[in-house]
Structure 1
Amino acid sequence: MNRIILIFLICTAFKTEAQTSVLNIADSLFAHGNYSKAILQYKTYNNQPEVYHKIAKAYIAIGNYDEALINYEKGVETNPENTLLKYDFGKFLYRSKKFKKASEVFNKLVYIDYKNPNFHYELGLTLEQLKDSTAQNRFHSAFELDTTHQKAIFKIAKYYLKKGHNKTADKYIDIGLNSYKNNKELISLKAQNYYVRHQYEKAVVWFEKLLELGESSAFIYEKLSLSYAQLFEFEKAIEQRKLALKFNPLDATSIYVIGTYYEKIDDFKKAEEYIWKALALLDTPLDAEYMKLATVLNRQKKYREGIDALKKAIKENPSNEFSSFHLAITLDAYYADFDSRIKALEDFKRKFPNGKLISFVNDRISKLKEEKFLNEEKKED
């Protein structure tokens, strides 16, 4: 009898050792990226409930999300007390865009352990995707449980910034940066917060800090450029906008804006070059852009080219009074004889008899007629 018991114990120990070996091999295969082989090995393990979550993770690794879901569900069903497994399952559901089911899992986790800030945060993320206004309550709960929770702080600060509660947003941003000074997301919010409040000098400091931390994007360079322009530092504005342009070389708006900045520093040749480039790319109504080009050309005394640009502006938008006015005064500068100059201004009057600029045009016509009269008298003498 004792011998039978001994043999049984030996067999049991052997089977246990064999199963331990199966698990070790499967874990090793998983660790080395042999996920499909790891799955086959895990499936030979006697205690399947113990490895359902491992099989699920292996399926995720090879992109089979349906099988991952099946194994996660089996794992949760056979291990109802395993909160870590439920937490992983909830995150998997969120990544799979099964937000309703994910919210149910995280709601249960919050009920099980209300003092876990991450459970609140993950529930907040899922509620946010479901357009549930109570998402912010979860982010606030996560923050109250852990005032250094960077991700929760970011969500709260971003919400207040979008709502226009800039001081409240700033308060949370500062709390976050106090515990992690190089949080790029919060630094970006800090910069944007100053920018929307027109505090451009401070905005520049924080956008520059993002660049120092290795962040690089068209958005950062564009906002830096706009901030420098507001501070009348147009050389720096040009430099930053050109860096933004590298992300999208065919961005007609950026190319046009660079042209306007060159005009500000009286580099009309460069201004003309960039505005022409923009016009070649734009496919929207271009009256304003052609007017700007005409201004740049006129400043270089290229009146003939300026006139052509203005005619194109008028063609783009015939009802734009300013385009027609700009053409009239350019023709006034271009023509040598008084009759042609007067006619250009009277053509404007006929087109816009009740225009906003009619008093200026009347005054100019009157002066030209006076000059013509005096010039004719001088010739007679």
Structure 2
Amino acid sequence: MNKALLILIVLITLKTEAQTSVLQHADSLYLNGNYSKAIEQYKTLTKTEEVFDKIAKAYIAIGNYDAALEYYQKSLEANPDDALVKYEYAKLLSKTKKFKEASTQFNELVYIDYKNPNYHYELGLALEALNDSTAMNRFRSAYDLDQTHQKAIYKIARSYVKKRAYEQAEYFINKGLESYENNVSLISLKAQNYYNKDDYKNSKIWFHKLVQLGESSEFIHVKLSVIHAELSEYEEAIEQRKRALNFNPYDSNGLFLIGTYYERLNDYENAEKYILQCLKLKDVPLDYEYQKLGTIYNRQQKYKEAIASFQTALKENPDNINSAFYMVVSKDKYYADTDAKIKLYEDFKTQYPESFYVKLANMRLQELKEEKFMNED
């Protein structure tokens, strides 16, 4: 063998082995949670296009979704027929509220493999977020392909519960519970379905099943309290209302109802105690407390909950401009549509033209309009 050729083969072999070693090291770093270091190693590889998807996953792991989307796009450019990468990319688009782009990707996946139920389900989620009425068709397709698909069943059943189509709702709920009897989402729907048709005895059974499974929320305990009261089980109604108060101690209506239940039991001392607490709360605006709660939610990036808190604060005190502006900012963070964001700030300026926050609103409006202009280009 020619000496020069032999040397070339050795060099190529050494280079290949070195690249393999780097890849193995990068994979090891990723598996052990050292994601940033893994990204650095992946990027040193000669054929980076072969690990674009791994780089994307590492960026997801450290919370850099923009970079992850960029590398998924690069991966698809290099491997346009890779359905797995397309699926992960589409899911991340949905997660980052880019629902229109996500629906496009999921539509392509459905075309590639129509019999994959999860492609239909994920497409349904994206369409639902876009308020597209065809979303339910996708959930039904997912169910038709897999009649044990719990998430698709939940979406279908919930739509019937909302429409008060009791029999259809019951059918799908029972289908789901056949394959997963402890699905708390479906159990909750079953309890609500009975509640909506005033079947309190059966509703009570299923709400209590939720509690037995470790579920506890203001919604569950309020519903149980109402049910027990309807069945004249006032001691149980009081117990459930008190548990609901753990989630919302400022619920003056809840305090009032506890007082009325004690009255039914002829316990007038406790009846007086709770009704006085109710009246005391009704005389004290709670806008500051809800405003504070909203700012705490914002710090945790729980924008949906923050919006609800500021809305409550404004109900308590409609003149609280701070809460009004904070709610606009929260919606700005939560909404995906730029036009909707622009309208929020313009509406605020119209409603509070003399507010100090108008200056801040104008600054944000300029940013949003520039962003919209760039996107249109």
Give the TM-score of the pair, scaled to structure 2.
0.74
Name the aligned partner's letter for residue 164 of structure 2.
Answer: G
Hey, what's the Cα distance between the residues in 1 that align with 2:230 and 2:150? 32
Any unmatched runs of 5+ in structure 1?
Answer: 285-381
Name the aligned partner's letter for residue 48 of structure 1.
Answer: T
Aligned residues of 2:29 and 2:35 also touching (Cα < 8 A): yes
Q: Which residue of 2 aligns with 1:105?
A: 105
RMSD between aligned residues: 1.4
Larger of the two Rg values belongs to structure:
1
Of all paired residues, the percent bearing the same amino acid is: 59
Superposed, 1:344-359 pairs within 5 Å as none
Superposed, 1:166-245 pairs within 5 Å as 166-245=166-245
Hey, what's the Cα distance between the residues in 1 that align with 2:19 and 2:49? 14
SS in 2 for 1:51: helix
Any unmatched runs of 5+ in structure 2?
Answer: 285-377
Name the aligned partner's letter for residue 82 of structure 2.
Answer: N
Q: CA deviation at 1:186?
A: 0.3
Q: Which residue of 2 aligns with 1:12?
A: 12
**How many residues are paired up?**
285
Q: Which residue of 1 aligns with 2:87?
A: 87
Q: Determine if the alignment matches structure 1 residue 163 to structure 2 residue 156.
A: no
Aligned residues of 2:164 and 2:196 also touching (Cα < 8 A): no
After TM superposition, the runs of 4+ consecutive aligned structure 1 residues lying more than 6 A away are none
Hey, what's the Cα distance between the residues in 2 that align with 1:202 and 1:193? 10
Name the aligned partner's letter for residue 126 of structure 1.
Answer: A
Name the aligned partner's letter for residue 263 of structure 1.
Answer: E
Superposed, 1:1-381 pairs within 5 Å as 1-283=1-283
Aligned residues of 2:164 and 2:193 also touching (Cα < 8 A): no
Q: CA deviation at 1:241?
A: 0.8
Hey, what's the Cα distance between the residues in 1 that align with 2:50 and 2:260? 67
Q: CA deviation at 1:283?
A: 4.7
Q: After superposition, give the CA deviation of every residue in 1:267-321 in whole Å (9 maximum; x if it has no partner).
A: 111111000000100159xxxxxxxxxxxxxxxxxxxxxxxxxxxxxxxxxxxxx
Hey, what's the Cα distance between the residues in 2 that align with 1:10 and 1:160? 69
SS in 2 for 1:132: coil
Hey, what's the Cα distance between the residues in 1 that align with 2:86 and 2:234? 55
Q: CA deviation at 1:3?
A: 3.0
Q: CA deviation at 1:34?
A: 1.4
SS in 1 for 2:164: coil
Q: Which residue of 1 aligns with 2:353?
A: none
Q: After superposition, give the CA deviation of every residue in 1:195-246 in whole Å (9 maximum; x if it has no partner).
A: 1111111011101111111111111111111111110000000011111111
Moved more, 49-58 or 236-245: 49-58
Q: CA deviation at 1:9?
A: 2.2
Q: CA deviation at 1:60?
A: 1.8
Q: Which residue of 1 aligns with 2:369?
A: none
Q: CA deviation at 1:38?
A: 1.0
Hey, what's the Cα distance between the residues in 1 that align with 2:30 and 2:142? 33
Hey, what's the Cα distance between the residues in 1 that align with 2:177 and 2:193? 14
Q: Which residue of 1 aligns with 2:309?
A: none
Hey, what's the Cα distance between the residues in 2 that align with 1:166 and 1:4? 82
